[in-house]
């Protein structure tokens, strides 16, 4: 079987006319017969090149407001007819169906129409029928037909035409693979639009933009990112982002999203090693760094406030890998760019997805993102003594932070500054001891501090240990059958405890 095929005829039916002129001129110059549909034919005619209309080939006009143009046996027979099958060839001859060797098409902009907040009727009309059918038919018959399914493939097509308009089976198979990638992505987008209420229990996500990373978590592992970072950030400076960078950046953004007041956090291995809030952003930075200046080395810094030269001067004094902020002054950028590998990101949008997923056991785990953010009205005081206004602020600050800290997690806070953290421990007591030790190591006074736990206390031991070092207020979800043990201890020792009713595990 001859694997090479000569392109002698082409069907062009495209929504986007960008960069089409050069393709059409090359096809015409090569003597390739062109068939085209309404708007595409008008474009081809406008550049002085003739083509045969699909309407004259099928004997039918475009009908139903353009919903039906190419859906006809004389089109699909010409695409699907097998060149090495005698019966197919006889039928094509009997029904006067011309062979179509090349199909150039694209799809209506369904996703962009959805993103534009268009009406339901407008969105439905952007569900492509003819285009997707042309793509599938031509890709199915890749043994004989070349399919160009998006404008990104025009460069490859130009090379093919320049080389005599002859293709190999390998080229056609590759283009068919690209075509089915286009069609599957399109179908996934349409399904997710219709299934936005989650009534159909199916998981379909499509990420067509891929970045090959230097490596995965470790140098011996390959790593890739599927997604569009350009929608999230403007990269103003620095080297390429790594696999671990991206995971830390995701953790940083999810954390900072829960804070409205000017806040700076320093992230290391998915956890905050320092974070503070306040009105003066320079002082906020100083307090965030003081939380753990050792771990801050080489960390990721994120701020929900613009970075000016004053705070840039202070941040510039330490080694960090990445800085993320909504904006920067020109003076600040000039200073921060002095180290060429330092990554500076201007954040354009927040994470907008409402679900998160990860691979596990040859399948996918999916859950809603934990968007619960407790406010003062959510807090249930369960002790005789009630926290004052300052303590409530610190309790809510600590509760936001513990939500974004690896379980088991304990966070110690004083004056909207994290002064101690214990995370990723197999025992909540160990997490608390770790947090206390860190606070003491950096010379923090625990008198008057508050403690947050990501889950309930099964015993009174944690509040006992906290009380011994001067902690007066505790926040946790509650829900243990032995909650009363902790509550009674607090009442006996004039401590204050509030319960949220919401657990915030982060495994």
Strand 299-303 relative to strand 263-268: parallel, antiparallel, unpaired? Answer: antiparallel
| End-to-end Cα, the chain, rounded Å | 56
What's the average model confidence in pLDDT over 76-91?
Answer: 91
What's the average model confidence in pLDDT over 238-256?
Answer: 94
Long-range contacts, 135-139 (Cβ 8 Å, 24+): 135/103, 135/105, 135/107, 135/179, 135/182, 135/183, 136/179, 136/180, 136/183, 137/76, 137/79, 137/80, 137/103, 138/79, 138/103, 138/176, 138/179, 139/175, 139/176, 139/179, 139/180, 139/183
Lowest mean pLDDT among 246-260, 325-339, 354-368, 464-478: 354-368
Region 376-499: CATH code: 3.40.140.20
Distance CA 207, CA 243 (A): 16
Could you give the 3-state DSSP secondary structure of residue 323? strand
Q: What CA–CA distances, in Å, run from 246 to 251, 256, 303, 466?
A: 9, 15, 17, 35
Q: What is the pLDDT of residue 2?
A: 65
Is 90 exceeded by the pLDDT of residue 227? no
Is 80 exceeded by the pLDDT of residue 352? no
5-194 matches 376-499 in fold: no
Is 80 exceeded by the pLDDT of residue 199? yes
Q: What is the pLDDT of residue 356?
A: 87
Q: What is the pLDDT of residue 422?
A: 94
Structural domain spans, the chain: 5-194, 233-347, 376-499
Distance CA 265, CA 289 (A): 8
Question: Whole-model pTM?
Answer: 0.82
Is 80 exceeded by the pLDDT of residue 208? no
What's the average model confidence in pLDDT over 157-183?
Answer: 94
What's the average model confidence in pLDDT over 224-230?
Answer: 89
233-347 belongs to which homologous superfamily? AICAR transformylase, duplication domain (3.40.140.20)
Catalytic residue positions, numbered: 140, 269
What's the average model confidence in pLDDT over 132-158?
Answer: 94
Cis preceding-peptide flag for 105 (omega within 30 of 0):
no
Q: CATH fold of 5-194, please? A: Rossmann fold (3.40.50)
Is 70 exceeded by the pLDDT of residue 482? yes
Q: What is the pLDDT of residue 406?
A: 93
Q: What is the pLDDT of residue 122?
A: 92
Q: What are 399-450's pLDDT values in tens digits? A: 999 999 999 999 999 999 999 999 999 999 999 999 999 999 999 999 999 9
| Percent over 90 (pLDDT), the chain | 76
């Amino acid at each position: 079987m001859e694997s090479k095929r000569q392109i002698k005829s082409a069907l062009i039916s495209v929504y986007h006319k960008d960069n089409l002129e050069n393709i059409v001129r090359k096809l015409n110059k090569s003597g390739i017969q062109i068939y085209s549909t309404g708007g595409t034919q008008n474009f081809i005619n406008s550049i002085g090149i003739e083509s045969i209309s699909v309407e004259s080939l099928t004997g039918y006009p475009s009908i139903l407001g353009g919903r039906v143009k190419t859906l006809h046996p004389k089109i699909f027979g010409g695409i699907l007819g097998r060149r090495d099958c005698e019966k197919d060839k006889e039928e094509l001859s009997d029904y006067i169906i011309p062979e179509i060797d090349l199909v150039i098409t694209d799809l209506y902009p369904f996703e962009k129409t959805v993103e534009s907040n268009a009406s339901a009727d407008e969105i439905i009309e952007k569900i492509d029928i003819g285009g997707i059918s042309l793509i599938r038919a031509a890709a199915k018959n890749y043994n004989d037909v070349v399919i160009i399914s998006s404008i990104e493939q025009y460069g490859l097509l130009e090379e093919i035409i320049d080389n005599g308009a002859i293709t190999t089976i390998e080229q056609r198979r590759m283009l068919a693979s690209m075509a089915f990638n286009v069609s599957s992505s399109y179908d996934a987008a349409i399904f997710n639009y219709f299934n936005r209420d989650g009534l159909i229990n199916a998981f379909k996500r499509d990420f067509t933009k891929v970045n090959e990373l230097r490596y995965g978590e470790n140098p011996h592992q390959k790593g890739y990112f599927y997604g569009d970072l350009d929608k999230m950030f403007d990269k103003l400076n620095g080297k390429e982002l790594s696999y671990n960078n991206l995971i830390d950046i995701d953790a940083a953004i999810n954390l900072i999203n829960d804070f409205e007041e000017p806040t700076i956090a320093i992230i290391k291995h998915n956890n905050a090693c320092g974070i503070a809030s306040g009105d003066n952003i320079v002082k906020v930075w100083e307090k965030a760094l003081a939380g753990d200046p050792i771990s801050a080395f080489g960390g990721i810094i994120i701020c929900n406030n613009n970075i000016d030269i004053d705070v840039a001067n202070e941040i510039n004094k330490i080694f960090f890998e990445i800085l993320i902020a909504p904006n920067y002054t020109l003076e600040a950028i000039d200073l921060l760019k002095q180290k060429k590998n330092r990554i500076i990101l201007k954040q354009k949008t927040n994470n907008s997805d409402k679900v998160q997923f990860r691979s596990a056991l040859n399948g996918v785990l999916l859950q809603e993102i934990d968007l619960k953010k407790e406010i003062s009205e959510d807090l249930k005081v369960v002790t005789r003594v009630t926290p004052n206004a300052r303590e409530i602020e610190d309790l809510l600050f600590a509760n936001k932070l513990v939500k974004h800290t690896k379980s088991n997690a304990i966070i110690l806070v004083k004056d909207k500054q994290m002064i101690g953290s214990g995370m990723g421990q197999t025992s909540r007591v160990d997490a608390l001891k770790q947090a206390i030790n860190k606070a003491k190591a950096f010379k923090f006074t625990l008198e008057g501090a508050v403690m947050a736990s990501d889950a309930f206390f099964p015993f009174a031991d944690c509040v006992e240990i906290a009380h011994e070092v001067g902690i007066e207020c505790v926040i946790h979800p509650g829900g243990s059958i032995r909650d009363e043990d902790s509550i009674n201890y607090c009442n006996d020792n004039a401590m204050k405890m509030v319960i949220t009713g919401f657990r915030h595990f982060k495994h």
